[in-house]
Amino acid sequence: MIQDVENSLNAAPSLLVIFGGSGDLARRKLIPAMYNLYLDGLLPEGFAILGLGRKQMTHELFRALLREAAGKFSRQMIVEDKWTTFEKSIHYISGEIEKRQLYDDIAVFSKKLGGECNRLFYLAIPPTSYSPACRGLCQAGLVSAKDDSPTSRVIVEKPIGHDLSSAKAINAVIADVFHESQIYRIDHYLGKETVQNLLVFRFANSIFEPLWNHHHIDHIQITAAEEDGVGTRASYYDGAGALRDMVQNHILQLLCLVAMEPPWSLDADVVRDARLEVLRSLRPIVGEEGVKQYTVRAQYGPATVHGEEVPGYRREASIPADSTTETFVAIKAFVDNWRWAGVPFYLRTGKRMKKRTTEIAVQFKAVPEVLFNANKDRPLDANLLVLRIQPEEGFSLRMVSKRPGSKVRVVPVDMDFQYNQAYGGVSPEAYERLLLDIMIGDATLFMRRDAVEAAWSWVTDILTGWQKQATKWLPEYPAGSWGPIEADRLVEHYDRKWRDT
């Protein structure tokens, strides 16, 4: 029987105001997502999109720009007559974030739409502009009180700071104007279908939960590998590195979903409390000794990948030749609570790795060394559950079975489930789900302030430990590989190694 757990599709009439309306995020993600929601009939009756930017532009030019972007980045093909109707709801205002005029213009526009519309402010701008933007909105009377209807909400993206204190400062600036219940901090991994499925997988099946603890699980590996290099984002990336760019947010959120206790309801704050508990139980990695023992960082070096010469990180355009920014990080983490006592969580992420894959691999404990596992030189493969987040979304369970024949030969076999085979088609993009949830007012898949700060607190200890190491050069791994040899040593144990996925 198909069970609808929520009846969430009734978004109220909404005005989406995008600061940075013609920027990369709006063109690649936000507008294509809104268009797909529209095609799927999920947008509310009354909706409008207002792009803001410095450049002078007519509505028509703005729409044409977005039409071109949607053609490139939309999940579903552009259907001309549908687009023509959709684009009538798109508008543009130019102005300076620091100047009052912009906010007066937004207020006039919003009044024209009628008073019954929720106002959603998407800050697709650098965090340094959050303060004037929030203040401007507030002074122009565009921010409603927390329980008012229609309501106002604000949406922000990473980077929310570069360490704990800067994250706190950014959160404080937003909290000056918006109540926490009105703030939607996006971690786009939480919007991915496969990531949402983690909760269902764990708590809608009875067979895994009894095994989901230190009695039965040997260790867990979380990998987020990318084939691409730093690309055109050199200036941002060199100031960030893999730990801030991927671990502080996406990887820790995956860890939370795998390790959290069952929440007692699906209420946004109950689920978010359960995720937060995991972050608070993470064992701190402190000082030079701590980072030496539990972390590995490295940079990609030059190599030939798929027949092409690829430069090393320090030879990439706009990257300083003496940069010590990590493009790869591996961490051995522990969640120090009753359930996970002693179970290592191996986390790794990097650019220019062997292939693009994000997965969570749960390795169960080996069977006793008797019967089929009696030969110490040839141990049996342990059971392994792999949750593939992307690509080839799905999961597989490795078991051991007898190969047919008169000899007893025991071999591993995989039971495999693939989303596209089971359900067909392409799953909605993360931003589609997230934008819909913002319109509905469901904050489950968003980061609460305390969680962002708890994640930063753990990550900042590691950053401080690295700073103390004062390393001049990081180890290198060849582009197109699984990372440096040092990362292998982090997991070395008689029956543990990184998965060659």
Catalog residues that contact ligand BG6 under the rule CB under 6 A: 226, 245, 358
Whose tokens are 């995991």? That residue is: 278
Question: In the bound complex, what is the minimum distance in angstroms from residue 256's beta carbon to ligand BG6?
Answer: 16
Q: Which is nearer to ligand BG6, 243 or 385 (CB)?
A: 243
Question: In the bound complex, what is the minimum distance in angstroms from residue 207's beta carbon to ligand BG6?
Answer: 29
Q: Which is nearer to ligand BG6, 245 or 277 (CB)?
A: 245
Q: What angle, rounded to 10 degrees, do the helices at 31-39 and 80-87 form? A: 110
Q: Catalogue the active-site residues.
A: 250
Question: In the bound complex, what is the minimum distance in angstroms from residue 25's beta carbon to ligand BG6?
Answer: 11
Question: In the bound complex, what is the minimum distance in angstroms from residue 286's beta carbon to ligand BG6?
Answer: 26
CA distance 95 to 313: 38
Q: Which is nearer to ligand BG6, 74 or 151 (CB)?
A: 74
DSSP string of 186-224, one letter each residue: --GGGGSHHHHHHHHHHHS-TTTGGG-STTTEEEEEEEE
Vertex 438 angle, CA 97 and 269, to 5°: 115
Vertex 360 angle, CA 416 and 350, to 5°: 125
Q: Which is nearer to ligand BG6, 181 or 390 (CB)?
A: 390
Question: In the bound complex, what is the minimum distance in angstroms from residue 369's beta carbon to ligand BG6?
Answer: 40
Question: In the bound complex, what is the minimum distance in angstroms from residue 447's beta carbon to ligand BG6?
Answer: 13
CA distance 36 to 22: 18
Q: Are 303 and 479 in contact (CB under 8 A)?
A: yes
Residues 6+ apart with CB under 8 A from 410: 372, 380, 400, 401, 402, 403
Question: In the bound complex, what is the minimum distance in angstroms from residue 165's beta carbon to ligand BG6?
Answer: 21
Q: Are 71 and 80 in contact (CB under 8 A)?
A: no
DSSP string of 128-153, one letter each residue: GGHHHHHHHHHHTT----TT-SS-EE
Q: Which is nearer to ligand BG6, 281 or 358 (CB)?
A: 358
Q: Which is nearer to ligand BG6, 245 or 316 (CB)?
A: 245
Q: Which is nearer to ligand BG6, 226 or 432 (CB)?
A: 226
413: phi then psi, degrees, rounded to nearest 5: -130, 150
Ranked by CB distance to ligand BG6, the top (closest) residue is 245
Whose tokens are 């996406």? That residue is: 250
Q: Are 325 and 314 in contact (CB under 8 A)?
A: no
Vertex 244 angle, CA 242 and 248, to 5°: 110
Distances (CA, A) of 51 to 30, 55, 181: 11, 11, 24
Which pair of structure tokens corresponds to residue 48? Answer: 């409008």
